Structure 1
Amino acid sequence: MKTFKKLLAGLCLACGTLSYAYPAFSYTVSNLSASYKSGQVFLIWKNPKANNLKYNVYRSTKKITSPDQLSSNYLGNVRDNSGQNIRKSDAQKSYNFITPASSDPLSNDEGLYVITCTDEDDYFYAVTVVNLNNDSEDKTIDLGENSLSGSIAESVGFPQPVLQNSETLTDGVIQYEYVQWGNNQDTKNCPAFNNAGSYGYNFSLFDRGKSKNGPLYVYFKDNNPFSEEGTDLCDNCTVLKMDDWLPNGGNTYWVGYNENYDIYSETNPVAKKGTVKTYSQARVKKTLQWVRNHWAIDSNKVYLTGNSHNGFGALLTSVVSPKQVAAIYVTSTPILVKTVDGDIREQMWCDNSLNLPSDVTDPNTGAAILIWDLMDSRHMYNVDKNDIPFNSGVNGKNDVTAGWVQKFHWYDSLNATRQGGVWYWDQRVHGGGGAQFTDAETTPDYERYRINRSYPAFAYCSINEDPGTGDPNDGDDYGAINGYLDWDDASIEDEACNYSITCFIKDLYVGGSPDKNQYSSCTSDITFRREQNFKPEEGDKITWSVINSGTQIQNGSFTYNGGPITLYGVKIYKSKSEISLKISKCSRTQKFEAQLSDPIKVNVVPIPGGYEMVLNLPFDDHADMKILDMSGKVVIEQHLDLAKGLNSIPVQSLNNGFYIAMLQGSHFRQSAKLDFLK
């Protein structure tokens, strides 16, 4: 609806100049409706026929009948065409969102705002329109048109992405396109995704091959989340492509932006105050959690990869959400990011002469990590002393875009932080030209790594090549940190009282041939990462030994004082070294059982179309869920990643009949009968 307001109409002759004051228009929406689904409210309305408008959304526990009620109940805003998937429309053809309210896309004249519920209550909503041509807001309230005449019952839930499209591609890959809505409110189950209001974020899942419960590969690429490009990472797996795109056409480097940054404006002031909110990382984390818990994958096999600044997204995710990742591999990726004076990113993050706080806290101190420290992998590898996934990558000495990483002593920091992994370098430029290593030689065997499997992190290996001091002309032309070292996964014994693993020297290949330098023995420090059961207590005495060809080569003992366990100067042979640790006088089995003051109870809650299995955990855990029909046949089997706090696992879309649901974690087991009779 458009209202004509004649502010001034007249002619004024002054100094020979004719002046005319143009009329201003104000607008309102109509047909406002609301629906609730999975912890979110979907508001839909009819837009006025105009552009350059902003739609403000207000909420109240009382019916909104007067403009006076708006001042203290503002939620956020959306802009023109909020019902349109603008990102997909720009990449492909015009496309409008599908919401849970209907399987059909919204019409071209409909607007959309999605609220993530913050509490259990009944709410009323109103939508007003701001004309951005003159920044005037029409606060007219028309009950039943732009203000709900009836309330909507809300409850805190677990927001679910909404399927927008699925299709089988020409190569047989099945693509599923989803939109995940978030807004500017932090809730206990879903953090804020932006600082403005409702926004829909795209991601695609590509199922490759016919087998289920395979690994999940996450390909960081911010140019088009709908494209199959780059998803040929595996044969039988699922590939996830997310997006990092802002309405103003920019990207966040997979980080986020200052709380005062306007995502709709192409010109922002340089940020000199405020907190840098990691909105993009919050969204990546929730997307990973949802896929791991709801898709037919092995949730312990999650791998991240990317090139250049997209690789930085994988690198950052691995330190911000390490418990969700088994391994990463990045190419030509900067290991730190900081703006230079005059760079547009000073508007997004902060003035390069400052170092504003982020919303990520140091797990050791509880203090906010400053933004340039957060975006420095050397600092983050030092901060997170326990949970970094296996990390690997390759960089070039002649890369002037990402820079030669040893200029920042990256390889030295890998040894100092004892995070291990394998990192290669050669003479490549940023695009890969001039490479001496082949892709096959630097790409890890991803699927040997699991979130729930320990691995050794090597440091200060005596046969590492020399990356130099930071000058591209200094040191060896090519080489690797830990490139000669390996271990036997099948040899790992990770028990409550003892731990053992077999490590060995392997041949290093360069350009398809064995390198001229090969070795039969070396020394290396070894830090044991991600032990699942071997968790000594402070004060425990630990004995250790190294055996080669049946002969004990080294041994010793120490008193455990907390943190990751490191053995120094371990002798490793091409003929293998069996490394063992044992806690003296140990008879532990289930160490954590005694920490449970109350039994964990799983509640089965009916929801539309099925049930939710809800439980409150005192710690992070993994669980296996099986759904069996009454003949005992397993119809659904999932491995779930559960977080400390409230968790909800939906069980929906089963055929007509009764089923048995079985959920088992490390400290709980429960079954329930589910009625799907229609």
Structure 2
Amino acid sequence: MPSLASRVRMLCLVVLLTAAVPPAAAQQAGELRAVHRAGQTLLTWTEVPAARASDEPTVADVKRLAQDLARQRIRYRLYRSDKPIRTLDGLECVAEVSPLSGWNIEYYGDPKPQQKALRYVIEEGKPPLGPNVAVWAHNPATAGRAWYAVTACRGDQEDKSLDAANVLRQPVDETVGLGLPVLQRVEKPKSFNYVDNPTLHYYVRWEPASHCGQPGRPYDYLVAIPPRLAKPAAVGIHLHCWGGNLNSGYGWWYNAEKGAILLASNQVPYDWWTGYHEKYFQRRRSKETWSDGVVRPYTQRRMMAFLDFVASRWEVDLSRTFAAGSSMGGSGSPMLAIRNGGRIAWAVSWVGVHVPAHSPHFKGSYAQVYGEPEWGVKFEDGVSAWDHYDDAKYLRSHPRDEVGLITFSNGKNDSGIGWPQAMEFLRALQETHRPFVFVWGQSGHGQRATMPVTLGERVMELDLRTDRSLPAFNGCSLDDDPGDGRPDRGDAKGQINLFLAWKTDDAVDADGRWEMTVYLIDKSPRGECTVDVTPRRCQRFKGEPGQAFVWTNTVDGGQVQTGTALADQWGLVTLKGVKLSRSPCRLAIRRKP
């Protein structure tokens, strides 16, 4: 039996050895697993004990635990190699991941205290991850076999011990791609946004670098299917307001009555559904750091990419895609439509910001993602980021770009969004001959847009498509006077182009020839008007600057007008002073021989 002195020496040695082990050493990550799909590897592992939440915590509980773990500087490091990993020597850490990454705490947008945190599903049809499992996504730049390892860190200490639990023993056969959204669940509520008996498909996509300034960040998406789905169906990209989320805050479920699919997501960060600086998530916002970098349209890209995914799962008509939103979403919907004119057929916007630099209350919000205007931060194409996301400037600097119909509203007394900036947008639409409908009034931030033909809010009666020509109206004699940009000038409430409509199924769009039936709706205040008409989004009818055209206006088989027009410097042909009535008026344009 060892002597008392020997036993004391052994005990001291154990104490010394235990003290020499970093706190994280007894808390290594484990059970590392990998799933690869379509260019994306999803890695999961068990959290260290300190990072394990209860089985059903609220979002607030998870956030509090995350703050406590951040103070302790607990995190994980991921390593990747093209060879089996037996040591970390010579390997570069490819990512540091915060604890609790398996919890979805952004689904609700601005959560209420009692709302339960959700767990991510990483494989469709399988249950959510366990409460002590973390997840990280990686889109490799090159294809091939890869091995991964994960370690736990606390403070400056990293446990670099490796065993079968935190190292992949078998490689992942990786490909290059964007990855695929993963279905989280399907719900069938009795009603959703005033539509009865829909089917709601909730997805999460861990976004690649082209879609997010923080590669691998998860985003929630909703695909809502109406009870009578059109085949093929239009898809409406619905953008929520400040404080909203993917389930609400975008006005209506537009065109649900016509069988349209609703696509929605959450907005992180609050970039007004546009884009943000590539260094935004690095949390070092300053002129010095952001001057070395650019603003990229991450949010617009990820929304359009998810639209492509929807088209791969459902029978849809992408030529009928539209964008919709209110307030922040009403800012984002025309911005998306204007910059993606080849993909968005029309847009509806309630009380949006169209010129961020001139919004009295929300300019500072845009500055959080673009940088201050005086910093001179560029968009990725070299233009000022503030100029790129100025709708008026964008329209004027891209006069040939085709844009679908934009129906929008602003309140003259909306001091937060701002009336003068809405007027700048209106004038740019008029000057560049873009198709639009505009209503304004004294409802402040509650001013709602009106749809043409029906004068309702929810349904676009016109069958608008990206591959079909439409008319742009200007100077209608039924227009009200919005004033000069000052809220106390002009008519307190009114409309522009609201009572004009056209048939979408009998147009002629051919080389040197264009025809369309245009008319005043029955609810127009008078039975006749005059208006300038410019064919837009023409597929075959094109003019060269200075080229001459002749046009006619025929009603009930009788010619009521004829005239000539010259294509302007952009090749646009505008018919001046066209007389319209409630009877269908057939406009025909021919290139002069």
**Do both proteins adopt the same fold according to a TM-score greater than 0.5, normalized to the shorter chain?**
yes
Aligned letter for 2:507?
I
What secondary structure sits across from 2:505 in the alignment? strand
Residues in 2 aligned to 1:484 and 1:440: alpha-carbon distance in whole angstroms: 8
**1:237 aligned partner, one-letter code:** G
Distance 1:566-1:539 versus aligned 2 partners, 3 A rule: closer
In angstroms, what is the RMSD of aligned CA positions?
3.5
Structure that is richer in strand per residue: 1
Pair 1:200-2:218 in alignment: yes
| TM superposition score normalised by structure 2 | 0.80
* Corresponding residue for residue 391 of structure 2: 377
Structure that is richer in helix per residue: 2
- CA spacing shift, 1:115–1:535, aligned 2, 3 Å: farther
Question: Post-superposition shift, 1:231?
Answer: 5.1
CA distance in 1 between counterparts of 2:521 and 2:49 reads 69
Task: Give the CA deviation at 1:198.
Answer: 1.5
Does the alignment pair 1:153 with 2:173?
Answer: yes
Correspondence 1:7-156 to 2 at 5 A: 25=24, 28-50=28-50, 51-52=69-70, 53-71=74-92, 74-88=93-107, 90=111, 92-100=115-123, 103-131=126-154, 134=155, 136=156, 138=158, 140=160, 142-156=162-176
Q: Does 1:544 align with 2:550?
A: yes
Q: Which residue pairs with 1:480 in the alignment?
A: 495
Deviates most, 234-243 or 337-346: 337-346
2:435 matched to 1:413? Answer: no
Q: Structure 1: how far apart are the matches of 2:299 and 2:421?
A: 28
Change (3 A) 1:336 1:459: same
Q: Does the 8 Å contact 2:338/2:403 carry over to 1?
A: yes
The alpha-carbon deviation at position 254 of structure 1 amounts to: 1.4
Question: How far off its partner does 1:533 sit?
Answer: 3.6
Offset of residue 238 of structure 1: 4.0
CA distance in 2, matches of 1:393, 1:406: 13
Distance 1:487 1:342, change over 3 A: closer
What letter is aligned with 1:166? V
Identity %: 23
Any idea what the Cα deviations from partners look like across 1:161-180, whole Å, max 9, x if unmatched? Answer: 11110121124211111111
Deviations 1:194-242 (A, max 9, x none): 2333121111111112344233222211522246985543225244343
Give the structure 2 partner of residue 594 of structure 1.
Answer: none
**1:453-490 deviations in Å (ceiling 9; x for gaps):** 21011233354222111111111222222234322223
**Separation in 1 of the partners of 2:317 and 2:592?**
36
Q: 1:573 aligns with which of 572, 575, 580?
A: 580
Alignment of structure 1 residues 352-501 onto 2, 5 Å: 352-359=373-380, 361=381, 368-384=382-398, 385-405=400-420, 408-432=423-447, 440-441=455-456, 445-501=460-516
Name 1:619's counterpart in structure 2. Answer: none
**CA 1:113–1:101 in structure 2 vs 1: closer, same or farther (change >3 Å)?**
farther
Contact 1:208–1:238 (CA under 8 A) maintained in structure 2: yes
For 1:476-533, what per-residue CA distance to the aligned partner results, in whole angstroms no more than 9, with x for missing partners? 2222222343222233112345221122344666xxxx4xxx3623131x33222234
Deviation per CA, 1:6-28, whole angstroms, max 9, x where unpaired?
99x9xxxxxxxxxxxxx864653
Matches within 5 A, 1:631-646: none
1:617-628 aligned at under 5 Å gives the runs none
Distance in 2 (CA, whole Å) between partners of 1:165 and 1:260 is 33
Q: Cα deviations across residues 544-603 of structure 1 (Å, max 9, x unaligned)?
A: 312233226223365x78855222414232145422233567xxxxxxxxxxxxxxxxxx
C-alpha separation in 1, matches of 2:530 and 2:16:
86
Secondary structure of the corresponding residue to residue 280 of structure 2: coil
**Structure-2 change in CA distance of 1:539 and 1:409 (3 Å):** closer
- The 3 A distance-change label for structure 1 pair 129 and 481 is farther
- Tell whether 2:174 aligns with 1:174: no
* Cα shift at 1:348: 2.9
- The answer as to 2:300 corresponding to 1:299 is no
**CA deviation vs aligned residue, 1:642-671 (integer Å, no higher than 9, x gap):** xxxxxxxxxxxxxxxxxxxxxxxxxxxxxx
Q: Structure 2 counterpart of 1:161, which letter?
A: P
Correspondence for 1:183:
208
Counterpart amino acid of residue 590 in structure 2: K
Tell me the matched-pair count: 533
**Which of 582, 585, 606 pairs up with 2:590?**
582
Q: Is the 8 A contact 1:543 1:581 kept in 2?
A: yes
Look up the equivalent residue of 1:357 and give its one-letter code: K
Q: Classify 1:374/1:116 alpha carbon distance in 2 versus 1 (closer, same or farther; 3 Å).
A: same
User: 2:411 and 2:229 mapped to 1: Cα distance?
Assistant: 37
Question: Residues 323, 407 of structure 1: CA spacing in aligned structure 2 closer, same or farther, 3 A cutoff?
Answer: closer
Question: What SS is found at the alignment partner of 2:415?
Answer: coil
Relative to structure 1, the CA distance from residue 562 to residue 110 in structure 2 (aligned partners, 3 Å threshold; closer, same or farther) is: farther
User: How many Å separate the matches in 2 of 1:156 and 1:94?
Assistant: 32
| SS of match in other structure, 2:176 | coil
Moved more, 491-500 or 466-475: 491-500
SS of alignment partner, residue 307 of structure 2: helix
Whole-Å separation in 2 of the counterparts to 1:295 and 1:244:
22
Quote how far apart the aligned CAs of 1:341 are. 11
Q: 1:260 to 1:316 in 2, by over 3 A?
A: same
The one-letter amino acid of 2:552's match is: V
What one-letter code is carried by the residue in structure 2 that aligns with 1:531? C
Equivalents in 2 of 1:54, 1:475: separation in Å? 60
TM-score of the two chains, using structure 1 as the length reference: 0.71
Shift in Å at residue 43 of structure 1?
Answer: 1.0
Q: Is residue 283 of structure 1 aligned with residue 291 of structure 2?
A: no
In structure 2, the CA distance between the partners of 1:355 and 1:539, relative to structure 1 (3 Å rule), is closer
Residue aligning to 1:210: 228
Residues 544 and 42 (structure 1), Cα distance of their counterparts in 2 relative to 1, 3 Å cut: same
Whole-angstrom CA distance in 2 between matches of 1:354 and 1:556: 49
Distance in 2, matches of 1:276 and 1:6, equals 53
CA contact (8 A) 1:289 1:324 kept: no
**5+ residue gaps, structure 2:** 1-13, 51-68, 191-195
Instruction: Please give the alpha-carbon distance, in whole angstroms, between the structure 1 residues aligned to 2:410 and 2:331.
Output: 13
Secondary structure of 2:335's aligned partner: helix
Distance 1:369 1:493, change over 3 A: same
1:144: Cα distance to partner?
A: 3.3
Q: Which amino acid aligns with 2:135?
A: L
- Whose RCO is larger (CA < 8 A, sep 6+)? 2
For 2:79 and 2:460, locate their aligned partners in 1 and report how far apart those are by CA, in whole Å: 52
User: What is the CA–CA distance in structure 1 between the aligned matches of 2:393 and 2:502, rounded to whole Å?
Assistant: 28
How far 1:331 sits from its partner (Å)?
1.1
